[in-house]
Amino acid sequence: MIEQETLTKRIMKDERTGKAVCPYCGVGCVISATVRDNMITKISADAALAPNYGMLCPKGAHLKQVFQRPDGRLAYPMLRERRGEPPRRVTWDEAIAFIANRLQDIQLAHGKDALAFYGSGQLDTEASYVFNKLFKGFLRTNNVDTNSRLCMSSAVAGYVQSFGSDGPPTCYEDIQHADVFLIIGANMAVNHPVLFQMIRKRRAMEANTRIVTVDPRRTQTAAFSDIHVPLAPGSDVAFLQIIAKRLLAIGRIERRFVRRHTENFNAYQNHLEGLDEDALLAACGIHPARIDELVEYLSKPSRLLSFYCQGTNQSTSGVDKNVALINLHLQLGEVGIRGAGPFSLTGQPNAMGGREVGYLAHQLPGYRVVTNDMHRAYVEGAWRLPPGSIDAKPGLTAVPMFEAAAKGDVRALWIACTNPAVSMPDTKVSQEGLRRADLVIVQDCYYPTETAEYADVLLPAAQWGEKIGTMTNSERLVVRSEQFLTPPGEAMPDWWIFAQVAKTIGFKQSFDFHSSEAVWDEYRMLTAGTPCDQLGMTNERLAKTSLRWPCPHPRHPGTLRRYTRRRFLTPSGKAQFHTPVYRPPEEKPDADFPLGLTTGRVASQWHTRTRTGKVPQLVKKEPEPFVEIHPDDADAYEVRDGEWVYLVSRRGRCYARARVTETIRRGLLFTPFHWGDLFHAETNANNVTTSAADPVSKQPELKFCAVRIEAA
């Protein structure tokens, strides 16, 4: 395999430095690694480079330690004759021929939609482009979805409904100009630490700035804020509408902006005026003083910058929450100007790039959608496919994909760069889907993982630092990562693996990419003229600098802020007011399951811990699963601090060590979802969570389900 050698086997003897986007959160810090003899000797960040200007959080700073533990890497392709048996090493040729044959057999026997692909916002743009092209274009199934469905799909739908297009209007520089920071449903101190550091610096330097955090828990973020609004879980729409209604009542409307650049304001105003403020307040379960304080801040013109993440997205009313927040910005004219706007935080390093590539079940590259005839025809033309090749019907989204596998409708599941046996809501279903499918392909850089236990084929991926690839961070900044490490064994870049299978199936010409740069060039062309235009980001430019889209031609400097002319991407060019109605979370507590459970993250761990779980400095900070419980509830249910308890829901149970604390609301529990079955049987929080989802975005409610607590 000469091609493979030239792509990855560049052992670097001399000490040298390479830079790459941090493989963890969507802040997208650029990290410099000094390497000697294929070992990282130092991790640092360049004070002159966007977006982090020298800052790193402990996860990024401890990347060196990740590579000091070479065990646990998946280094060779492997096949498993029978489930439950150890896999045996095979050559790439064998593995790829096996996959190509099996996919075609299954397609022939059961139809195109018996195939499904489940990917990740941690794959680079090149990889995401190639799998999307293979499945939606050439295997002709839109059964392509990613963990972004569990993460970003409500944010996508919110932006599309209000502005006519996905993607944030804002950039990190806005932090330097904002007056009021509204952080709603995001624990930035923990999950976007470097960005939160920038906010704290601004707060320290400008005495008049204010930070408001809206979260049912008094998080680290809330602790650093001027106001903490400990609202009842799921009540964000009610909360935002009280604020908007009160501001309307005192005439806080940016009338000129509203008249010239928005539509549907009258309906919005009537809707708000008709709402019963007491009922909304009761739904939020907060002291009215919190409302007064925020209304006071916003009653005079002030630059409002709002950050939001899973506390709004992962909800059965996730899209409504996002739209209610954008409504508030439209009412105040706080969008398209410096220091203001609704800023959706992306979780994973390339969740933004994946959206641009169109890797959700209803999307196509360049913010196109499969349901639009012109969009399909354009992409078919670019891919040199006969008209009608791309299905006009959206494919299965994440949860229904695994449900279909559990029913035997989806027969082949290809999973890359995600660990759904741990991270999907209600893991009974995802695990049953994995068990029942005839063919499970798992492409990861580590082995074992919980999902790999179900795999028939294991494909070794090169990981961070071991390949060239491009990612887009939360502020639309597109950054090219360099290769400075040689991957172990025969691990290969993800895009190469997808292209190799495509060529073996018979799509030789369309997947004849010889480098990731060649993939980028093809993708970049497809974005021309779209809202996320990256045509001007040539390989030459990306090798030297990073750029924010839209960037339509090779001399274009990129775009710091969008909508500065107040022209939106709806057919009329005007932003849309909507009239969402507050709905509580779908699952209600009752006598058997009297408590609410919300789930999330800790600062020192990343998701299912395949990397951060190997770094002693990080593990020591949170060594085991825990559950936060209010002292009153601890009394009522006879739970002592530090004791192990079971959380039991209508679907299953998990256990964790009780942490009695006043930082959580009464009636609510919180547990992180980092500890899967490889840590210990029954520690996975997702044994308990519900797959009830937002009706529009299909994003599951990972932020609320009903449970009871039992002694373990």
What residue ranges bind ligand MGD (CB under 6 A)?
Answer: 25, 59, 120, 122, 147, 150-151, 184-187, 190-191, 214-217, 219, 233-234, 236, 309-311, 314, 347-348, 416-420, 422-423, 443-446, 449, 461, 463, 494, 598-601, 603, 605-608, 610, 673, 685-686, 689, 702-703
Is position 151 an interface residue for Mo ion (rule: CB under 5 A)?
yes
CA 312 from centre of chain? 13
Asked if residues 32 and 41 have their Cβ atoms less than 8 Å apart, the reply is no
Residue 58 CB, shortest distance to ligand SF4, in Å, is: 7
Q: Which is nearer to ligand MGD, 217 or 375 (CB)?
A: 217
Residues 6+ apart with CB under 8 A from 464: 20, 23, 63, 481
Mind giving me the DSSP string for 602-614?
-TT--TT-TTGGG
Q: Which residue, among 169, 410, 455, has the nearest Cα to 305 in the 3D structure?
A: 169
* 24 lies in the site for ligand SF4, by CB under 6 A: yes
- Strand 180-184 with 304-308, pairing: parallel
Q: Out of ligand SF4, ligand MGD, Mo ion, none, which partner does residue 125 contact, by CB within 5 to 8 A per kind?
A: none
Contact pick of 7, 18, 19, 22 for ligand SF4 (by CB under 6 A) = 22
Q: Which does 411 bind (CB under 5 to 8 A by kind): ligand MGD, ligand SF4, Mo ion, none?
A: none
Judged by CB under 6 A, the residue of 121, 193, 233, 311 near ligand SF4 is 193
Binding partner at 149 among ligand MGD, Mo ion, ligand SF4, none, C-beta below 5 to 8 Å by kind = none
Q: Which stretch binds ligand SF4 (CB under 6 A): 52-60, 90-98, 539-547, 652-660?
A: 52-60
Please count the residues of this chain forming the interface with ligand SF4, following the rule CB under 6 A.
13
| Nearer residue to Mo ion within complex by CB, 242 or 685 | 685
**Residue nearer to ligand SF4 on the CB measure, 40 or 56:** 56
Question: Least distance from C-beta 22 to ligand SF4, angstroms?
Answer: 3
Cβ-based nearer residue to Mo ion, 151 or 434? 151
**Is 114 one of the binding residues for ligand SF4 (CB under 6 A)?**
no
Q: Which listed option, ligand MGD, ligand SF4, Mo ion, none, makes contact with residue 306 (CB within 5 to 8 Å by class)?
A: none
Shortest gap between Cβ of 344 and ligand MGD (angstroms)? 10
Shortest distance in whole angstroms from residue 221 CB to ligand SF4: 14
Mask of contacts with Mo ion, 298-337, x by CB under 5 A? ----------------------------------------
Question: In terms of DSSP bridges, do strands 595-600 and 705-711 run parallel, antiparallel, or are they unpaired?
Answer: antiparallel
User: Does 692 interact with Mo ion (rule: CB under 5 A)?
Assistant: no
Give the span between the Cα atoms of 437 and 455, in whole angstroms: 10
* Residue 408: C-alpha distances to residues 51, 142, 294, 402 (Å): 46, 18, 52, 10
Closest by Cα among 682, 673, 677 to 644: 682
Query: Which of ligand SF4, Mo ion, ligand MGD, none lies near 536, with the C-beta cut-off 5 to 8 A by kind?
Result: none
Identify which of residues 103 and 461 has a Cβ nearer to ligand MGD in the complex: 461
Q: Which residues contact 366 (CB under 8 A, 6 or more apart)?
A: 356, 358, 526, 527, 528, 529, 530, 532, 533
Cβ atoms of residues 599 and 685 within 8 Å:
yes
Q: x/- contact string, 149-188, with ligand SF4 (CB under 6 A)?
A: ----------------------------------------
| 582 scored as a contact of ligand SF4 (CB under 6 A) | no
Q: Residue 305 has which token pair?
A: 């910058």
d(CA 637, CA 161): 44
Among 28, 87, 354, 550, binds ligand SF4 (CB under 6 A): 28
Residue 694 beta carbon to ligand SF4: minimum distance, rounded to whole angstroms? 26
Which of ligand SF4, ligand MGD, Mo ion, none lies near 603, with the C-beta cut-off 5 to 8 A by kind?
ligand MGD
Residue in 7, 20, 25, 492 binding ligand SF4, rule: CB under 6 A: 25
Q: Is there binding between residue 609 and ligand SF4 (CB under 6 A)? A: no
31 contacts 43 by C-beta, under 8 angstroms: yes
By the rule CB under 6 A, 56 interacts with ligand SF4 = yes
Nearest partner of 676 among 596, 595, 613, judged by Cα: 613
Closer residue to ligand MGD (CB): 184 or 595? 184
Residue 347 binds Mo ion (CB under 5 A): yes
C-alpha to C-alpha distance for 110 and 468, rounded to whole angstroms? 37
- Exactly one of 57, 183, 437, 692 binds ligand SF4 (CB under 6 A); that residue is 57
627: helix, strand or coil: strand
Q: Which is nearer to ligand MGD, 79 or 603 (CB)?
A: 603
CA dihedral 614, 497, 76, 4 (to 10 degrees): -110
Question: How far apart, in whole angstroms, are the C-alpha atoms of residue 360 and residue 244?
Answer: 32
For 582, the enclosing helix (H) or strand (E) is: none
Burial readout 604-619 (b: 16 or more C-beta within 10 A, e: otherwise): bbbbbbbbbbbbeebe
- CB distance 694 to 703 below 8 Å: no
**Which of 116, 471 has the CB closer to ligand SF4?**
471
Determine the Cα–Cα distance for residues 387 and 379; give it in Å rounded to an integer.
10
Q: Would you count residue 240 as binding ligand SF4 (CB under 6 A)?
A: no
Rounded Cα distance between 349 and 329, Å, is: 26
When the beta carbons of 348 and 516 are compared against ligand MGD, the nearer one is 348
> What residue is closest to ligand SF4 based on CB?
60
Does residue 66 interact with ligand SF4 by CB under 6 A?
no
Taking Cα atoms as reference points, which of 34, 56, 37 lies closest to residue 45? 56
Task: List strands edge to edge, sheet with 341-344.
Answer: 227-229, 210-214, 180-184, 304-308, 341-344
Distance CA 487, CA 184 (A): 40
**Which residue, 213 or 363, has its beta carbon nearer to ligand SF4?**
213
E-strand stretches of 549-600: 575-576, 595-600
State yes or no: residue 29 binds ligand SF4 (CB under 6 A).
yes
Q: What are phi and psi of 664, to 5 degrees?
A: -115, 150
Nearer residue to ligand MGD within complex by CB, 314 or 470:
314
Closer of 22 and 74 to ligand SF4 (Cβ): 22
How far apart, in Å, are the Cα atoms of 188 and each of 168, 310, 314, 477, 665?
A: 17, 11, 16, 19, 19
Which region among 54-62, 164-172, 437-445, 651-659 touches ligand SF4 (by CB under 6 A)?
54-62
| Residue 607 binds which of ligand SF4, ligand MGD, Mo ion, none (CB < 5-8 A, kind-dependent) | ligand MGD
Residues that bind ligand SF4 (CB under 6 A): 22, 24-25, 27-29, 52, 56-57, 59-60, 193-194
Interface ranges with Mo ion (CB under 5 A): 151, 347
